[in-house]
Amino acid sequence: MIRKEFAQYITEAVGQGTSQEKVEEKLKSLGLSSAELQEARVFYKKVADEGKKIDRAFNASPLAKGPVMDFQASFFRMRLVDRVLIYISVFLFLLVIGTSFFGLFQYEERVNLNRKLLAFENEKAALIKHASSRFDSLSSKVKDYFSISGVDCGKEVELCLNDILDRVKVESSLIKATLSSPYLVSWSEAGSTFSLSGVSLGPTVAGPDLSDGRGGLYREGVTLNALVLHLKITSGKTAECLSVDFRRVLDEEGNLAQPNTFRYKFVDPSIPGSFTGCPMSSTTYNDQSVIFVVGKDEKEFLLNTGGQSNLFFTVKVVEGNKLKVEKPIKKG
């Protein structure tokens, strides 16, 4: 009896229409004996006969004459033009179906995109509302700070920003010196203690209420060359209003010049944004200043505290473009 693997090969070969001679050549190459080859020939013939019987039975059945077979036969008997028209019709039909599915897909994509856009707009509106609230709060605080610093932010924003930028430019050109405790220059007047905490020389932006020395005021925001004395003032238990008694000694004859600052600016807690010349009792103020408008070429200044203290000291530019404050001279 023929082996199973050879029987399977012969069956597949018959189904594929391979001739008996080619099958025998293949089997010989596999080393089959003469007896096995004879069995293979018999098996090949048997399988081929069975296949022919199946073909005859199918051709005699209604399936062989059904609509599919009729269409296939008639299709290939058509003219080339008719077949091309059928091809085109089928192509157009498939194109319409594909376009419909693609349109449906695009519609779903648009719906999803609109949902995302709506969510984004809602989130953006919430962020803008939050940022606006934060900006209003910050703006109010900045205005309060600039009001104290002498910058008028009640005007147009652009002008306000220009004013701030001018101050930044001025600050970069200033010569400064900071003094720390124990302060080199310190005195008492009207129940309050004064300490010179720093000095600066150079371009200074005029704030409000800066005297021009001729009975008028400098225009606010104008840049002036000035010597600025920075003071720390601590008021006593019984607060008294303080006057600006500083004087600058101009020459050996003892001619004096008043400062351009004619009053101290203590914040008035009863009126927000306003100032007074009277400090609150037992309070320390670190931001008081006295301004002398000076020439750009002047490098040394002899100053007097005035009042009962009548203390003298000098401020001068030394090597390295630095400011130096020298110890007080004894009262004259």
Structure tokens at 271: 């009126």
Identify whether the C-beta of residue 249 lies closer than 8 Å to the C-beta of residue 303. Answer: yes
Same domain, 179 and 307: yes
> Which of these three, 74, 98, 125, is where a domain ends?
74
- The CATH number for 248's domain is 2.60.40
Report the C-alpha gap between 66 and 58 in whole angstroms: 12
Q: Within a domain: residue 45?
A: yes
pLDDT tens, position by position, for the chain (332 residues)?
667 777 777 777 777 778 888 878 887 887 777 888 888 788 888 878 877 776 666 566 554 454 544 555 565 556 666 767 777 888 888 888 888 777 777 778 888 888 888 888 888 778 877 877 776 776 666 666 666 555 555 555 555 655 655 555 555 578 999 999 999 999 999 999 999 999 999 999 998 889 998 999 999 989 999 999 999 999 998 878 999 999 999 998 989 999 999 999 998 777 777 788 899 999 999 989 999 999 999 999 999 999 999 999 999 999 888 999 998 655 55
> Which of these three, 55, 74, 93, is where a domain ends?
74
Domain total of the chain: 2
Q: Within a domain: residue 88?
A: no
Q: Within a domain: residue 140?
A: no
Same domain, 201 and 321: yes
Please give the pLDDT value at position 145.
60
Could you tell me which of 202, 268, 294, 187 has the C-alpha nearest to residue 233? Answer: 187
Q: Within a domain: residue 233?
A: yes
Q: Within a domain: residue 92?
A: no
| 17: containing domain | 4-74
Same domain, 45 and 190: no
Q: Within a domain: residue 82?
A: no
Q: Within a domain: residue 106?
A: no
Q: Within a domain: residue 157?
A: no
Characterize 138-162 residue by residue with b for buried, 16 or more Cβ atoms within 10 angstroms of its Cβ, and e for exposed: eeeeebeebbeebbebeeeeeebee
CB atoms within 10 A of CB 231: 21
Please give the pLDDT value at position 122.
83
pTM of the model: 0.50
CB atoms within 10 A of CB 192: 20
> Which of these three, 35, 55, 74, is where a domain ends?
74
